[in-house]
Amino acid sequence: MNKKKALKRYEKQFLSLIANNIALVWLSVFLLLTIPAGLIFASPSETLQSVSPGQQVDNSPVIVDHMTLFWVRGIKAYPAKERADNIAKRIRQIAADQSIHIDSITAAEAEDRTNLMAGNAIIASIVDADAAIEGISRQQLGEIYVRKIQIAIGEYRQARAPENIARGTVYIAAATVLLIILMFLIMKLYRKLFALLETRFVQKLSALQAKSPDIIKTKQIQTAIKGILKSIHLIILLLLFYIYLERVLHVFPWTRFYADRLLEYFYAPLKFIGLSILKEIPDLIFLAILFFIVRLFLKFMHIFFRQIEQGRRTILGFYPEWAHPTDRLLTFLVILFALVVAFPYIPGSNSAAFKGISIFVGIIFSLGSQSVVSNTIAGFIVNYRRAFRVGDRIQVNNIIGNVTEIRMQVTHMQTIKNEEVIVPNSAILSSNIINYSSLAREKGLILHTEVTIGYDAPWRQVHEILLRAAERTTGLLKEPPPFVLQKSLDDFFVRYELNVYTDSPQMMPIIYSDLHKNIQDSFNEHGVQIMSPHYLGDPARMKIVPKDDWYKPPAKPLEKGDTID
């Protein structure tokens, strides 16, 4: 606890010290940002200026420590770039050799040239063609080049002097400490602004929202202000770090090249993006107009097919259930056509990278979309064949259920056990489909069940018992009437089939259950034995349930007026 209190006390003292000396801090920042790092070295008063090249085609600058000293001319056998690099290399070698004094660099006249010498070594030779670039005599140009080389060597050595390297290291350390302090202060200020936003501003917004709940949304405004503060905070930190990095890179000669181009590294991509956008504005306008036209056309097309689907508009020979898949098919074709039209106007469509990505996407799509394409095509065929509709009771392979949704890829079914089965459309297209609902709407669906009765029971009695069981069953149609077929005459019994009509195929399990219950009761009433399982011999007692035993506990007897169901 004492350590925590001490840390808090030191933190308060540190913040108080920063607050009391804030003027000194900002003065340091001003000096850091305004005084060039190169001034920490004692440099000669003369500044190296690059000499403008003439109108020659092959000219190249001689550069030492990222400073242009002068330009030289080249010939086909000795290009200007190679010549300039060799001269710069010799100057650096002389600058690195402390035994060579600057005053030993002179210009020596020869018959057809002026040689720039460092003692007995030749740095470069100036011919009349070089002087013609500047429009002065060869001797005058030699004197200028000697002075520039002397200044460059002096600055080269001074920049690499141990005391200046040490001074630059101290400068970098001080700049780093100052950067950390400023970032710490900015973070503190940022947190205070957030706290102020949470306490005062949000409270005022909440009060205003209570008065105008439909106009002012506190959460949205608070989120927007937080986003603005975060953006400003990030921009300030990036700007501060950029200034720090630019100053630090200027300290040592090995990194000045990057300092001079640091802004260019950030600016060049932005400039390229901006110019690219400006260049593509006509194509972007075309794409925007095309997008607007296609979207408007699709909107009207959706409305048209929706009216057909809802029955508000009719087309001869076109069924309402075709509206939705046709709408989706035409939407796909319209979008595909729009993409073909828009492709040449997409920025970068002619680039090799764009073409490579297009080929890659095409290969991936072709490898992974075989089942997707087959199911999609099958989905259209299923819709246009009108094999079933939403709400129909169908059987696909061994699956029986109601169709709840027909999609482009799959069909959703709900089984009688309330299970959702998703069947691929390609599987439906390659399978036999039993539709229990399509004909049941007009003619009724025939449900059938079989019983086996012995030869000792008159078939006319059996027929009547079965027909009475059908009359007692709810959910069956009176017209057409039920009928009985004698399917076969087996060894020990006759096989009877009861056929009944219903227009409610969704109620098939319940209807079958009620029908079987009524068949059992009807045969028990009239004392006729059902010969199942297979008959092997006459039992000692007939396999029927006496009427007195129909309502053994826990079954309850029928109340007056009730019917057997």
For 9-27, the pLDDT digits (tens) are 544 444 443 444 444 344 4
In angstroms, rounded to a whole number, what is the distance separating the alpha carbons of residues 81 and 59?
7
- Bridge partners (DSSP) listed for residue 242: none
Question: What pLDDT is stored for residue 39 in this prediction?
Answer: 36
More confident residue, 148 or 204: 148
More confident residue, 344 or 266: 344
Tens-digit pLDDT profile for residues 411-470? 888 888 888 888 888 878 777 888 888 887 778 889 999 999 888 888 899 999 999 999
498-520 burial, b if ≥16 CB within 10 A, otherwise e?
bbbbbbbbbbbeebbebbeebbb
Question: What pLDDT is stored for residue 21 in this prediction?
Answer: 41
Question: What pLDDT is stored for residue 281 in this prediction?
Answer: 86
Q: Are 468 and 409 in contact (CB under 8 A)?
A: no
Annotation: CATH topology of 445-549: Alpha-Beta Plaits (3.30.70)
∠ CA(349), CA(350), CA(354), 5° rounding?
Answer: 55
When pLDDT is averaged across residues 353-365 and rounded to a whole number, the result is 70
Q: Alpha-carbon Rg of the chain, whole angstroms?
A: 49
Question: What pLDDT is stored for residue 463 in this prediction?
Answer: 92
Question: What pLDDT is stored for residue 368 in this prediction?
Answer: 55
231 token code pair: 């953006």
In angstroms, rounded to a whole number, what is the distance separating the alpha carbons of residues 428 and 381?
10
Average pLDDT across the chain, whole number: 77
Question: What pLDDT is stored for residue 209 in this prediction?
Answer: 61
CATH 2.30.30.60 fits 375-435, yes or no: yes
When pLDDT is averaged across residues 380-408 and rounded to a whole number, the result is 81
Query: Number of C-alpha atoms within 13 angstroms, CB side, residue 432?
Result: 3
pLDDT at 6 over 60: no
pLDDT at 499 over 90: yes
Q: Are 424 and 379 in contact (CB under 8 A)?
A: no
Question: What pLDDT is stored for residue 297 in this prediction?
Answer: 92
In angstroms, rounded to a whole number, what is the distance separating the alpha carbons of residues 103 and 118?
9
274-305 burial, b if ≥16 CB within 10 A, otherwise e?
eeeeeebeeeeeebeeeeeebeeebeeeeeeb
When pLDDT is averaged across residues 37-45 and rounded to a whole number, the result is 35
Question: Where does the pLDDT of residue 343 fall: very low under 50, low under 70, confident under 90, or very high at 90 and above?
Answer: confident
Q: Is 66 left (phi over 0), alpha (psi -120 to 50) or beta?
A: left
pLDDT at 563 over 80: no
In angstroms, rounded to a whole number, what is the distance separating the alpha carbons of residues 184 and 416?
69
Question: What pLDDT is stored for residue 61 in this prediction?
Answer: 87
For 310-398, where are the alpha helices, taking DSSP H only?
323-342, 352-368, 370-385
| Cα separation values, 75 from 72, 84, 113, 139, Å | 10, 12, 16, 21
Question: What pLDDT is stored for residue 204 in this prediction?
Answer: 67
In the DSSP assignment, the letter for residue 198 is I
More confident residue, 276 or 113: 113
Report percent pLDDT > 70 for the chain: 77
Q: Are 59 and 53 in contact (CB under 8 A)?
A: yes
pLDDT at 521 over 80: yes
When pLDDT is averaged across residues 490-512 and rounded to a whole number, the result is 89
Lowest mean pLDDT across 40-44, 109-113, 218-222: 40-44
When pLDDT is averaged across residues 349-370 and rounded to a whole number, the result is 68
In the DSSP assignment, the letter for residue 505 is G
Q: Are 135 and 171 in contact (CB under 8 A)?
A: no
In angstroms, rounded to a whole number, what is the distance separating the alpha carbons of residues 537 and 531?
10
Tens-digit pLDDT profile for residues 254-287? 777 777 677 677 767 777 777 877 888 888 889 9
Sequence-distant (≥ 6) Cβ neighbours of residue 478 within 8 angstroms: none
Question: What pLDDT is stored for residue 316 in this prediction?
Answer: 82
Q: Are 108 and 114 in contact (CB under 8 A)?
A: yes
Question: What pLDDT is stored for residue 15 in this prediction?
Answer: 43
In angstroms, rounded to a whole number, what is the distance separating the alpha carbons of residues 140 and 142?
5
| Cα separation values, 147 from 66, 151, 253, Å | 18, 6, 21
In angstroms, rounded to a whole number, what is the distance separating the alpha carbons of residues 498 and 462?
10
Question: What pLDDT is stored for residue 126 in this prediction?
Answer: 85
Pairing state of beta strands 393-396 and 67-73?
unpaired
In this structure, how many other beta carbons lie within 10 angstroms of the beta carbon of residue 225? 16
550 token code pair: 């129909």
Query: Number of C-alpha atoms within 13 angstroms, CB side, residue 115?
Result: 11
Question: What pLDDT is stored for residue 99 in this prediction?
Answer: 83
When pLDDT is averaged across residues 526-542 and rounded to a whole number, the result is 72
| Cα separation values, 546 from 9, 556, 562, Å | 101, 16, 20
Domain residue limits, the chain: 2-34, 59-159, 162-278, 282-368, 375-435, 445-549
| Cα separation values, 539 from 181, 535, 542, 543, 546, Å | 107, 9, 6, 8, 16
